[in-house]
Amino acid sequence: MSRFSYLLLSCIILFSLHSEAQTASKWSNGFDWTQRATKREAGRWSLTDWLAIKDKNRMMDQWLSLNSPSPYEFMLGGGYLSYDKHLSDGSVADSAHSVINGELAAYAQFVGVGAEYSNNTNENYSDLAGLFNLRVLGNSLQNTGLTFSYGLRTRDMTGTTVTKLSQQFAQADLQMYLTKYFGLDGKYRYYMPVSNDQLGDVKEDLFEASVFIDFKALRIFGSWVREKQKIKAPGGTDEVNTERTGIRSGIKLFF
């Protein structure tokens, strides 16, 4: 064997021994299979983990059910309205009229229903109204919000003749808190024009602006109220305009 061949064979043997030593070092240090096994273990899914997560979610649901506000709300209120009655020519027909009224409402999240009743002994009529309410802004009755309503009001008049007047209406109610306990409330109601056998053609709208202060679940409020009514007698051409303006005060309870 020549010296060159001997030297080449020696280099090949030394390189093979060095490679085997490096491979053995990698395996002995856990570089290859130990680290890969650790990564696989970290991403492993097991039945025990699933049961632990399920139990944790159940505890979170219980906590949320105990600490979340109820989706149901209720309101009960009552008030007293003192007003003056003005005729078409601007004169005061009568003064110091009074009306006693009550109202209630029930909500399930942003949808609610309501009812109103008022009794006017001076003008010999009573009103009963039902409302369907849709809250488009705000999350509770005691928060800033905007509510649209649609309803039906029935007025029973017991003067010389008994007359029943039913009118559908649309309403917008904007409530705004200026502080945590004090706020403003504006309401506009438009009654759909109707024709009545005794009264004739009737048109009407209502505007109410209120200030209020809350004490926990109790609200005390005061309102300026203006109601406009236009009546054209059957077969007639003259229209009688009546305007009622006054102050309404009362309380509301929220549940």
Residue type at 75? Answer: M
Task: Note the pLDDT tens digit of each residue in 65-96.
Answer: 566 667 899 999 999 999 999 887 655 566 67
Domain count, the chain: 1
Q: Where is 55: in which H helix or E strand?
A: helix 47-67
Whether 12 is in a domain gets the answer no
Whether 119 is in a domain gets the answer yes
Whether 52 is in a domain gets the answer no
On the question of pLDDT at 5 being above 70, the answer is no
CB 85 within 8 A of CB 244: yes
Whether 122 is in a domain gets the answer yes
User: How many whole angstroms separate alpha carbon 99 and alpha carbon 208?
Assistant: 15
Provide the 8-state DSSP code for 161: S
pLDDT score at 27: 46
CATH number, residue 189: 2.40.128.100
Whether 214 is in a domain gets the answer yes
Taking 3-state DSSP, the helix, strand and coil percentages for the chain, each rounded to the nearest 5, stand at 20, 60, 20
pLDDT score at 55: 79
Task: Note the pLDDT tens digit of each residue in 230-239.
Answer: 998 887 777 8
Task: Note the pLDDT tens digit of each residue in 195-212.
Answer: 988 888 999 999 999 999
Angle at 235 between CA 230 and CA 241, to 5 degrees: 15
Task: Note the pLDDT tens digit of each residue in 175-191.
Answer: 999 999 999 999 999 99
Token reading at 130: 């039902």
User: How many whole angstroms separate alpha carbon 27 and alpha carbon 21?
Assistant: 10
Token reading at 111: 């949808």
Whether 183 is in a domain gets the answer yes
Whether 138 is in a domain gets the answer yes
Please state which of the ranges 55-59, 65-69, 79-83, 245-249 shows the lowest mean pLDDT: 65-69
User: How many whole angstroms separate alpha carbon 192 and alpha carbon 201?
Assistant: 11
- Through-space distance between the first and last CA atoms of the chain, rounded to whole angstroms: 107
CB 247 within 8 A of CB 95: no
pLDDT score at 240: 87
In the predicted model, what is the mean pLDDT of the chain? 84
Whether 224 is in a domain gets the answer yes
User: How many whole angstroms separate alpha carbon 153 and alpha carbon 167?
Assistant: 5
**CA-closest candidate to residue 115, choices 72, 154, 89:** 154
On the question of pLDDT at 58 being above 60, the answer is yes
User: How many whole angstroms separate alpha carbon 73 and alpha carbon 252?
Assistant: 13
Provide the residue count of the chain. Answer: 255
Task: Note the pLDDT tens digit of each residue in 123-169.
Answer: 889 999 999 999 999 989 999 999 999 999 999 988 767 688 999 99
Q: What range defines the domain where residue 212 resides?
A: 72-254
